[in-house]
Amino acid sequence: MAQIVLQNVTKIFKDEEVVKNLNVTIKDGSFTVLVGPSGCGKSTTLRMIAGLETQTSGDIWIDDQRVNDVPPGKRNIAMVFQNYALYPTMTVKENIEFGLVNKKIPKEERKKLVSEISEIVGLTEFFNKKPQYLSGGQRQRVALARAMVKKPKVFILDEPLSNLDAKLRSQMRTELIQLHKRLGTTFVYVTHDQVEAMSMGDEIIILNKGEIKQVDSPMDIYQDPSNTFTAEFIGTPAMNVVSYERVCSLLPDIQTNAGFIGFRPEHTNIHSTVIDSDNRLVIPGEIITRETLGSEVIYQVNSKVGTCNVKSFLSTVERSNKVYMSISYDDLYFFNKNGERMRDVAVGKKKPLVLEGV
């Protein structure tokens, strides 16, 4: 178990600064997910923690050891690669055992460790097979077993599920969560998939263009985004963020210099007739597409403030094209012109948390 600290870590490839002055602490025993669009520097960060990439400047600490000059094999880290990186010329057993043999662990102990781990991941029957004869999910398990058998302080996983099909992916997702619970080891997980990040992580680090946008628990990230990037990154569909200028005529005058207003599709109601409400923002618009997903319907609505998504959990599909979107004032998020959250701005009075009879 270990805590990882990144201090002023910067990585420059040629002329490009892929990671910019990163300062973050990955808590001991946490399941920390690094998430962001491709090219945001998440994999580079991960590889720097593993020691496969050297930071241009800054320090990386694992527990109280500064690991800048420690080779990857000595960092007490195990990594699961995106395409597994199994050794194709070795059997499953040899793959799992390889690291132990390199560490010169006696044969008896090795045997015990390998069979113990294989039991956990359910690989015993494939022991003498080569990876090419295994399915994607089984290969994934071998890669996990190879990482687990070393009993590392930190597990590093680089988009390990991206090569699996949807069903297997959700199954492995649960298995990884359980595995983390059982081992209690620090997990650092990289993904570009926000659903994966939300469902697995207990701490999420959102990166964009080499900078940290927000570090928080999944629910805090969802309910309390710090900036438009986070707001637009998390959620399916993501938060609607529209320019304040276009919306302000529909709102009571609140004397603010906000740049953007955001509202979540699932907080937005859709009506076929105009509604009159003194605590809701009402925007007229026109439905462009309807996605009926069974439990919910997602509308894309074109309006004068821009194109917005609306998620409705009502089973009846809105038929008319001319509609009105309405959002409670309490569900509006304000951002300044740089996209930073303005937490002190609100329209009207905040509703009490407990609803009194309707």
Q: Report the C-alpha gap between 100 and 16 in whole angstroms.
A: 38
Specify the stretch interacting with another protein by CB under 8 A; choose among 27-35, 75-83, 210-218, 220-228.
75-83
ω into 160 cis (within 30 of 0): no
- Binding-site member from 98, 115, 129, 306 for another protein (CB under 8 A): 98
Q: Report the C-alpha gap between 213 and 37 in whole angstroms.
A: 12
**Is residue 161 close enough to count as binding another protein by CB under 8 A?**
no
Task: For residue 89, give every residue at least 6 positions away whose Cβ sits within 8 Å of its Cβ, in sequence order, or none.
Answer: 130
- Binding-site member from 8, 54, 102, 292 for another protein (CB under 8 A): 102
Size of the site for another protein (CB under 8 A): 26
- Binding-site member from 79, 161, 198, 287 for another protein (CB under 8 A): 79
Nearer to another protein, 84 or 260 (CB): 84
Q: Give CA separation, 132 vs 90, 97, 168, 172, in Å.
A: 10, 18, 18, 20
- Binding-site member from 66, 73, 254, 277 for another protein (CB under 8 A): 73
The pattern of x and - marking residues 120 through 139 that bind another protein according to CB under 8 A reads ------------x-------
**Is residue 50 close enough to count as binding another protein by CB under 8 A?**
yes
- Binding-site member from 83, 135, 236, 320 for another protein (CB under 8 A): 83
**Is residue 81 close enough to count as binding another protein by CB under 8 A?**
yes
Q: Report the C-alpha gap between 292 and 147 in whole angstroms.
A: 42
**Smallest distance from the beta carbon of 102 to another protein, in angstroms?**
4
**Is residue 71 close enough to count as binding another protein by CB under 8 A?**
yes
Q: Report the C-alpha gap between 128 and 105 in whole angstroms.
A: 21
**Smallest distance from the beta carbon of 74 to another protein, in angstroms?**
7
Helix H or strand E segment including 228? helix 228-233
- Binding-site member from 99, 137, 284, 339 for another protein (CB under 8 A): 99
Q: Report the C-alpha gap between 273 and 327 in whole angstroms.
A: 15
Per CB under 8 A, contacts with another protein among 234-293 are: none
Say if residues 178 and 170 touch (Cβ distance below 8 Å). no
Task: For residue 134, give every residue at least 6 positions away whose Cβ sits within 8 Å of its Cβ, in sequence order, or none.
Answer: 92, 126, 142
Q: Minimal CA–CA distance to 226: which of 211, 236, 237?
A: 211
- Binding-site member from 89, 174, 289, 307 for another protein (CB under 8 A): 89
**Is residue 52 close enough to count as binding another protein by CB under 8 A?**
yes
Binding stretches for another protein (CB under 8 A)? 50-52, 71-74, 77-79, 81-83, 85-90, 98-99, 102-103, 132, 146, 150
